Amino acid sequence: MDKLIPDPPPETKTPLADAIHADDLAKNREAIKRALDFYLCPEPVKPRQPSTMFLIHPNIDTENLLAHACESLASANVMAGDLADQLSRPQRSTALAIQQIVMLAELAVNRALDRVDPQT
């Protein structure tokens, strides 16, 4: 019995085709490894290093720290009050709430300052 359709020719691979195929397999393995490492083995989070731009000297005494904090809070209180005067109703309430929180913090710092250096 004669075949009407001849057999396809056998696939012959050239050394160049084998090299390209091996290179593709290597790239695929590498990509798979990177993807799995990214999701399954994340790099540990590095601890956050605080900025040294504004650094308080470690030997400053508590009284000076409290005095500076009190002055800063007093300034923030005045700025929040001035801002509240320029705003309309909903924003004004927010600015006044911020001013009240700053004022309460200022009172607490003043009390702590009185305990460190009582006025006689």
pLDDT in tens, 61-98: 888 888 899 999 999 999 999 999 999 888 999 999 99
Amino acid 41: pLDDT = 82
Amino acid 30: pLDDT = 92
Q: Which pLDDT band, with edges at 50, 70 and 90, does 2 fall under?
A: low
Query: Can you tell me the distance from the alpha carbon of 36 to that of 68, in angstroms, rounded to the nearest whole number?
Result: 52
Query: Can you tell me the distance from the alpha carbon of 62 to that of 55, in angstroms, rounded to the nearest whole number?
Result: 15
Query: Can you tell me the distance from the alpha carbon of 34 to that of 40, in angstroms, rounded to the nearest whole number?
Result: 10
Amino acid 31: pLDDT = 92
At position 73, the amino acid (one-letter code) is L
**pTM, entire model:** 0.50
- Nearest residue to 103 via CA among 63, 83, 75, 84: 75
Amino acid 62: pLDDT = 87
Q: Which pLDDT band, with edges at 50, 70 and 90, does 104 fall under?
A: very high
Reported as type and span, the H/E element at residue 25 is: helix 15-40
